[in-house]
Structure 1
Amino acid sequence: MPTLSVFLDVPLAPKIGSKLLDEFKQDQNPNKVYLAYGVCMTGDGVPWLSPVVPKTLMKLANDPSFSYECQPEQGLDAFVRVTTELLVGRHSPAIVDNRVGGVQTIGGNGAIQLGAKFLKDWYPGSRSVYIQSAQKDQHGLIFQEQGFIIREYTIWDPYRLVSDVGKLIEVAEQAYDKSILVIYNPESFVLPRKKWMKLSKTIKKKQIFLFFDVPHQGFLSGDPDRDSKILHYFVSHGFEFFCSQSLSNSFGLYDERTSNLVVVAMNNKALLCIRSQLTIYARYLWGSPPALGSRVITTVLSNPALRVEWKKSLRGMVENIMLTREKVKEKLRLLGTPGSWEHITQQDGIHSFLGISVDQVNYLVKKKHVYIPKSGQINFTCINSHNIDYIAQSINEAILAIGPGPEPREPPPKPPPSRPDSKDSKLLGIKAPGAKPSPFAALFRK
């Protein structure tokens, strides 16, 4: 006898995933190109894997001590130790003082979720969290479900066609006291020493808590130690902070979702208390993190020869990215494409802005089947010898059809700074009393 389901009132949740990627997959055009993958790609159009990984997997497979026993809630202790050292430096004062540690998490999102949950329960400061616009949909949701107010900021200057890290100082100056500042991809931030000093003084004065997000250490300069200089700076100046450290991208172990929530505390006592709370959260969020990825990474970082080989593979990929940038810029020059394209080679890392308009982006997607986000930020590792000519010709055609090409210019005058008060909750995405919860809410509840 048929009965009614107790779940009749459950609505269909909004689709998770990239609409752009769905459109690309459905496109039947043979020349279609997707330039928005989140991972590093090879010249053959497949996700990059450090050559040291297969070698390490074979070594582990032949290790008689290898077992499939579950890891403890905080993860593999050796993994947490070597990856934390990779982030803050083996001889960091925080390590010497035993005030830095971590908890292994499931992906970078897991680290953000774990940190946000802890801050919700234990951080005594403001409920305002400042997040870069590009990360609002991904990390903003996590903080929002924990009751935080999301406030956006951006580093990319679409007028001058540069990443203006100096804007970070403005964000700190205008931020609420004791608020939380999430800094995504901090290894790309380059400031003169005087500005770093100004930024750190502002953060200390306003007691802003820093939450760094390092998604692919080593892919900026090819040297993971050099890429973490900004973190070394804040450690040496006595800051407390959290850092989501994703290792999956740096090794090519994308499906292993191997990450670490690094905690830099004021002293060892505070560190032990924080880690104890994080361990409890980890236990009921996922119980035990996956072991294989952490064992591979621990083996590589603990073996001097494998570590050197891994760093060499990073440098090789970064050199390929730099060469691709130069080739794209040169092809646009030879095509006589209007505009200035110097900003292509002045940016670093896997993802960079083309500096084109939304209309030009739409032209590329609809007319040329070159799929890039509305922001114009593309993954340069998706460009290879098979598609670079078509991509350059398509950009040239979009500029000629829509115009004008990107040119550095002075931004319009800024309005006087203002900070919204609590009455702006609707504008900022805060749920009003009695409002229905987000369809994702269950993912983040206790």
Structure 2
Amino acid sequence: MNHFQAVSRVPGDPILGLMEAYRADSNPAKFDLGVGVYKDAQGLTPIPRAVKLAEQQLLENETSKSYIGGHGDPLFGSVLCQLVLGVDNPLLAERAAATQTPGGTGALRLCADFIAHCLPGRGIWLSDPTWPIHESIFAAAGLRVSHYPYVGADNQLNVDAMLAALSHVPKGDVVLLHACCHNPTGFDLSARDWQRVLAVVKARELLPLIDFAYQGFGDGLEQDAFAVRLFAAELPELLITSSCSKNFGLYRERTGALIVCAATAGKLHDVRSQLAFIARNLWSTPPAHGAAVVATILADDELRALWVNELEGMRQRVASLRGGLVEALAAFGLSQRFAHIDQQRGMFSYTGLSPMQVQRLRDEYSVYMLSSGRANMAGLEASRLKQLASAIAQVCAT
């Protein structure tokens, strides 16, 4: 019997496929604007100095490689909650806690299964567009996936359309919101916009799930947490997925958490018991190393200060690359057309380039980005902005 006879091939992930195409390109002047990782001026994804120092401490002092439990490293969970919710947040006493996960993606999957098993019948609403993995993770958990408008065909944030759609979401459904550095568009809500979203969430009795993957890459560590802390203060229940991949440079260590805010201490324990049960059937216990690194840094004043400074340097570099590209495009009369690039936040930009233009950039100039026009701004090199601007101008001219 051929047991695998009926197994069909599925299309590969477009981002991973883009990685392979980039690597196979022999052009020394190629651009990698596809994969969502931070790169420094040398085109490398660096390990922060604070991370290396923390790892040295762990190497010298670690005494065991035993399991760390279903909810992960307790110190990691504690300091990460402080980072996300604020060190003086009263919820930390007994109404909020973190369950460690393999990266932010693991937190999303844990959340998806929790909703499916413990909140049956609830649908989830995603922004249009959103990170493609959001779509597949929640669909795989069996949830009803729907969408609300976010950025339209004119490549502009449409808050009014978003609010209008959310105003008709069935009561009790889950709405996924991006805390900052919206992936894939880079368009973020203002403080006033967040207040308006909160009002609709309250009126419709929705359960917010805030995906917080880029804390520190938008306007700063504290500023980027505005929406999370606003919702935590105004609502009795909240789900937050947090990732340490970008801001700590721990991409391959798969370090993240699902933070739950509940109405009472007792209900928090109920929810966490379910999360531990679900996690046991997903990955049993999470990996330890990345969490130990984060806990070491955040619990040490000197390492934390060093990390904050390094993160701010990364944030400022990406911001300067955005402004630099718009300035370079001005020489071709395109500064107004692409002004939004400097207004967006985080690693990604919805450039507004069409799939055909993106294909020409790849075929004729070895510029690699997603067909949607999403570009990883952190993949740029300041010394080559004029070269990229020239290529964009060429494909926009015809």
* TM tier relative to shorter chain: over 0.9
Residues 107 and 241, structure 2, Cα contact 8 Å, conserved in 1: yes
Instruction: Determine if the alignment matches structure 1 residue 346 to structure 2 residue 340.
Output: no
Q: Counterpart in 2 of 1:204?
A: 202
Q: Counterpart in 1 of 2:101?
A: 105
Q: Counterpart in 1 of 2:377?
A: 380
> Which amino acid letter does the alignment assign opposite residue 173 of structure 1?
S
User: SS in structure 1 opposite 2:26?
Assistant: coil
Residues 180 and 214, structure 2, Cα contact 8 Å, conserved in 1: no
Residues 70 and 288, structure 1, Cα contact 8 Å, conserved in 2: yes
Instruction: Determine if the alignment matches structure 1 residue 123 to structure 2 residue 122.
Output: no
Q: Counterpart in 2 of 1:362?
A: 359
- Higher alpha-carbon deviation: 327-336 or 229-238: 327-336
User: SS in structure 1 opposite 2:382?
Assistant: coil
User: SS in structure 2 opposite 1:176?
Assistant: coil
- State the Cα distance separating 1:213 from its structure 2 match: 0.8
> Which amino acid letter does the alignment assign opposite residue 265 of structure 2?
N
Query: Alpha carbon RMSD of aligned pairs, Å?
Result: 2.0
Q: Counterpart in 2 of 1:424?
A: none
Q: Counterpart in 2 of 1:236?
A: 233
Q: Unaligned regions of 5+ residues in structure 2, if any? A: 183-187
Residues 181 and 217, structure 2, Cα contact 8 Å, conserved in 1: no
Q: Counterpart in 2 of 1:26?
A: 24
Q: Distance in 1 between matches of 2:248 and 2:172?
A: 36
- State the Cα distance separating 1:141 from its structure 2 match: 1.4
Q: Distance in 2 between matches of 1:258 and 1:123?
A: 26
- State the Cα distance separating 1:369 from its structure 2 match: 1.7
Q: Counterpart in 2 of 1:39?
A: 37
Q: Distance in 2 between matches of 1:284 and 1:337?
A: 52
Q: Counterpart in 2 of 1:431?
A: none
Among 152, 155, 160, the alignment partner of 2:147 is: 152
- State the Cα distance separating 1:328 from its structure 2 match: 1.0
Q: Distance in 1 between matches of 2:344 and 2:41?
A: 20
> Which amino acid letter does the alignment assign opposite residue 119 of structure 2?
Y
Q: Counterpart in 1 of 2:189?
A: 190
Q: Counterpart in 2 of 1:138?
A: 133
- State the Cα distance separating 1:280 from its structure 2 match: 1.1
> Which amino acid letter does the alignment assign opposite residue 168 of structure 2?
Q
Give TM-score, length-normalised by structure 1. 0.83
Q: Counterpart in 2 of 1:444?
A: none
Structure 1 residues 330 and 386: alpha-carbon distance in aligned structure 2, compared to 1, 3 A threshold: closer
Residues 113 and 141, structure 2, Cα contact 8 Å, conserved in 1: yes
Deviations 1:229-266 (A, max 9, x none): 11110111124111110012111011100000000111
Q: Counterpart in 1 of 2:185?
A: none
Deviations 1:397-428 (A, max 9, x none): 11112xxxxxxxxxxxxxxxxxxxxxxxxxxx
User: SS in structure 1 opposite 2:167?
Assistant: helix
> Which amino acid letter does the alignment assign opposite residue 155 of structure 1?
Y
Q: Distance in 1 between matches of 2:181 and 2:85?
A: 12
Q: Counterpart in 2 of 1:295?
A: 292
> Which amino acid letter does the alignment assign opposite residue 55 of structure 1?
L
Q: Counterpart in 2 of 1:87?
A: 84
User: SS in structure 1 opposite 2:337?
Assistant: coil
Among 305, 308, 326, the alignment partner of 1:329 is: 326
Residues 43 and 381, structure 1, Cα contact 8 Å, conserved in 2: no
Q: Distance in 1 between matches of 2:90 and 2:386?
A: 50
Among 282, 285, 289, the alignment partner of 1:285 is: 282
Residues 178 and 209, structure 1, Cα contact 8 Å, conserved in 2: yes
Residues 93 and 235, structure 1, Cα contact 8 Å, conserved in 2: no
- State the Cα distance separating 1:200 from its structure 2 match: 2.0
Structure 1 residues 10 and 356: alpha-carbon distance in aligned structure 2, compared to 1, 3 A threshold: closer
Structure 1 residues 334 and 12: alpha-carbon distance in aligned structure 2, compared to 1, 3 A threshold: closer
Q: Distance in 2 between matches of 1:333 and 1:120?
A: 50
Q: Counterpart in 1 of 2:173?
A: 179
> Which amino acid letter does the alignment assign opposite residue 180 of structure 1?
V
- Percent of aligned positions with the same letter in both sequences? 27
Q: Unaligned regions of 5+ residues in structure 1, if any? A: 402-446
Residues 128 and 180, structure 1, Cα contact 8 Å, conserved in 2: yes
Aligned residues: 392
> Which amino acid letter does the alignment assign opposite residue 118 of structure 1?
F
Q: Counterpart in 2 of 1:168?
A: 162
Q: Distance in 2 between matches of 1:190 and 1:108?
A: 21
Instruction: Determine if the alignment matches structure 1 residue 220 to structure 2 residue 218.
Output: yes
- State the Cα distance separating 1:202 from its structure 2 match: 1.8
Q: Distance in 2 between matches of 1:381 and 1:348?
A: 11
- Higher alpha-carbon deviation: 20-29 or 297-306: 20-29
Q: Distance in 2 between matches of 1:337 and 1:145?
A: 42
Q: Distance in 2 between matches of 1:144 and 1:95?
A: 32
Q: Counterpart in 2 of 1:428?
A: none
Q: Distance in 1 between matches of 2:112 and 2:319?
A: 35
Deviations 1:189-234 (A, max 9, x none): 43354x544322321221111111111211112x322211111101
Deviations 1:332-390 (A, max 9, x none): 11233475332121111111122223332222122222111122121111111353232
Q: Distance in 2 between matches of 1:187 and 1:37?
A: 15
Q: Counterpart in 2 of 1:419?
A: none
Residues 338 and 399, structure 1, Cα contact 8 Å, conserved in 2: no
Structure 1 residues 183 and 196: alpha-carbon distance in aligned structure 2, compared to 1, 3 A threshold: closer
- State the Cα distance separating 1:154 from its structure 2 match: 4.2
- State the Cα distance separating 1:88 from its structure 2 match: 0.8
Q: Distance in 1 between matches of 2:47 and 2:30?
A: 24
- Higher alpha-carbon deviation: 302-311 or 128-137: 128-137
Q: Distance in 2 between matches of 1:57 and 1:38?
A: 24
Give TM-score, length-normalised by structure 2. 0.92
Q: Distance in 2 between matches of 1:87 and 1:166?
A: 28
Q: Distance in 1 between matches of 2:344 and 2:396?
A: 21
User: SS in structure 2 opposite 1:365?
Assistant: helix
Q: Distance in 2 between matches of 1:51 and 1:136?
A: 30
Residues 181 and 347, structure 2, Cα contact 8 Å, conserved in 1: no
Structure 1 residues 230 and 185: alpha-carbon distance in aligned structure 2, compared to 1, 3 A threshold: closer
> Which amino acid letter does the alignment assign opposite residue 207 of structure 2?
F
User: SS in structure 1 opposite 2:258?
Assistant: strand
